[in-house]
Chains A and B, each alone.
Chain A
Amino acid sequence: MSAIRSVTVPPAPPPWIVAWVVLCLLALPVKVLGEIRVTDDAGREVHLAKPAQRIVSLSPHLTEILFHVGAGEQVVGTVSFSDFPAAAGRLPVVGSAGQLDLERILALEPDLVVAWQSGNPSRQVTRLEQLGLTVYYSEPRRLADLADTLEQLARLTGVPESGAARAEALRQGVRALTAQYAHRPQVPLFYQIWDKPLMTINDEHIIGELIGLCGGHNLFGELPALVPRLGPEAVLAADPEVIVGGGSGEDNRAWVDDWRRWQDLTAVQRDNLFFIPPSLIQRQTPRILEGAALLCEQLEQARQRRPESGR
């Protein structure tokens, strides 16, 4: 007992140290709050001292996302084909996604560059980083990534609430379509993303995910390449029940209609040749939900056209 009593209590620290420590602790959260940190799709941390006010977007889909979350007014430069919404089309252009004009980007003095990891030349974007610009890499591969991208870009641009709401709306829309269609009888289909050479997509592609949530079965989903090239014979052999395609324009059914040459195809016999405007499904933007809804309805039509037993 005596041993315990003899333990000396350490002297209390002088009051000025206590005050200093408390002040530091108080100051800390303020400093962290002022700074914005997000992890981009390349796995790197992006820091901004304050929300970005001058943004250059290096892909049409990123421009569209920025406008969608309400940061459109802060965008000062885009790349060609940034045509949605209409206001985006009036912004200064800094080259095409595949070949950037570094001079123009630099001259716009952006505080944030939003880059498309697989679509922009990595050497040019790396050069922008070397020149001291802050770069956020985006690469939404799945619908869930897309919702995350909405939130992250909204945080970087100072509109986190609107971003969270838009992301939640997207997630909600996906859940609704999944609940309605994912468990319907499967529809074997071929999605044509390009003509000459004939190209489709596999299950890893975001369109593959849409096909899954609409209760479709991508006949070429198992192929290793993300965007496999096929011969027409492979499609004839697989005999899809439905053929869905984009086109070289927003209203150009020529690619899917071309399949009518093959009268033996189930898809042709049941008139299951469907067209979806490419900007609704082939761009990783929130509008993909509209494309998904269209696809789900088309597959439902195909189910209605089945002989009685198969519905």
Chain B
Amino acid sequence: MNSDRDIQLPNLEDVDKVIHESARLIIMSYLFLVESADFLFIMQQSGLTFGNLSSHMKKLEEAGYIEVQKEFVDRRPRTTLKLTSSGRKAFKVYRDQMRSLFDQTDA
């Protein structure tokens, strides 16, 4: 039903489904705040299990949102995660969409 004001809610179909999933949103949020972080750091901060983080990491990498670099440091494997510029841009767009959605529903 229309009220006195027309509320233009963003079309939820436009919301990025890759980021919208809660585990991936947490991963993207942490990576948005730093330049890069390794797998262990994200695993500890997000509370995700090894397998869970691996699969979400793969999805984000396939979407081109994160860059994954694997190397050996002191004979130990290290996987470094970094947001790509398109990942950073996509996160900002998602954040703005969510913000505008909640701002309008609060009104």
A and B pair up:
no
Residue ranges of A at the interface with B (Cβ–Cβ < 8 Å)? none
Residue ranges of B at the interface with A (Cβ–Cβ < 8 Å)? none
